[in-house]
Chains A and B, each alone.
Chain A
Amino acid sequence: GAVVSQHPSWVICKSGTSVKIECRSLDFQATTMFWYRQFPKQSLMLMATSNEGSKATYEQGVEKDKFLINHASLTLSTLTVTSAHPEDSSFYICSARASANTEAFFGQGTRLTVV
């Protein structure tokens, strides 16, 4: 399958600081990237859908000013958690797909811990 690389795989940051997570599609062009959050033993919660060159579409209840998403190229999307607080600690996962009719491939996930 196609490869999606997510970096970093884990990060610890102090409360009030910002953290950037990168998601790259290594061997295909991703017209759409998705960002998910996952709590322990729960399924994936979609945060936002990002199309290359467009503003991200956020799900209801997700603060767009807190979770900044940029999809500047067909191979890179970033999620920045601004002014992080302990309640933002979670497992964040990105996925990318080439078109609306095709499967999405996932990154390895990023474990964020805010202290």
Chain B
Amino acid sequence: EDQVTQSPEALRLQEGESSSLNCSYTVSGLRGLFWYRQDPGKGPEFLFTLYSAGEEKEKERLKATLTKKESFLHITAPKPEDSATYLCARGGNKLTFGTGTQLKVEL
């Protein structure tokens, strides 16, 4: 069974305090590892796709990395507008999501 586990469940940061979110997944049959951002009451917004171990993608203050069993979303010098729930998903026949990390960035 496809599984995706995200940690921590919730994270509170001060503005400018960098941190990382973790996503671990079942490897068999993987077709891509995806990161999304979701704001309350909205559909998830696509951020990154990673396919191979060692791959990295960056966008503004976010950088996603992939190893053989895990992916990390690094947030550098976050701002309050980065507050959201960050979801990772495992690609394959289905798109299986983790439970998300709820990030709150405070002034």
A and B from one complex: yes
Interface residues in chain A, defined as those with a beta carbon under 8 Å from any beta carbon in chain B? 1, 4, 6, 34, 41-44, 46, 49, 91, 93, 95, 97, 100-109, 111
Interface residues in chain B, defined as those with a beta carbon under 8 Å from any beta carbon in chain A? 31-32, 34, 36, 41-46, 49, 51, 87, 89, 91-100, 102
Q: Is the CB of A108 within 8 A of B43?
A: yes
A1 and B31 CA atoms in complex are apart in Å by 19
Q: Is the CB of A101 within 8 A of B32?
A: yes
A103 and B44 CA atoms in complex are apart in Å by 12
Chain A contacts of B43 at CB under 8 A? Answer: 4, 6, 93, 95, 106-109
Q: Helix, strand, loop or mixed for chain A's interface?
A: strand
Chain A contacts of B98 at CB under 8 A? Answer: 43
A43 and B95 CA atoms in complex are apart in Å by 13
Give the A-B pair count, Cβ closer than 8 A. 61
Q: Is the CB of B100 within 8 A of A43?
A: yes
Residue of A nearest to B99 (CB): A43
Chain A contacts of B34 at CB under 8 A? Answer: 103-104
Q: Helix, strand, loop or mixed for chain B's interface?
A: loop
Q: Is the CB of B32 within 8 A of A95?
A: no
Q: Is the CB of B96 within 8 A of A109?
A: no
Residue of A nearest to B102 (CB): A41
Chain B contacts of A107 at CB under 8 A? Answer: 43
Q: Is the CB of B44 within 8 A of A46?
A: no
Q: Is the CB of B46 within 8 A of A106?
A: yes
A109/B41 contact (C-beta < 8 A), A97-B95, A100-B93 known: yes
Chain B contacts of A109 at CB under 8 A? Answer: 41-43
Chain B contacts of A93 at CB under 8 A? Answer: 43-44
A20 and B82 CA atoms in complex are apart in Å by 34
Question: Which of A41, A42, A43, A102 is in CB contact (< 8 Å) with B32?
Answer: A102
A44 and B49 CA atoms in complex are apart in Å by 18
Q: Is the CB of B91 within 8 A of A101?
A: yes
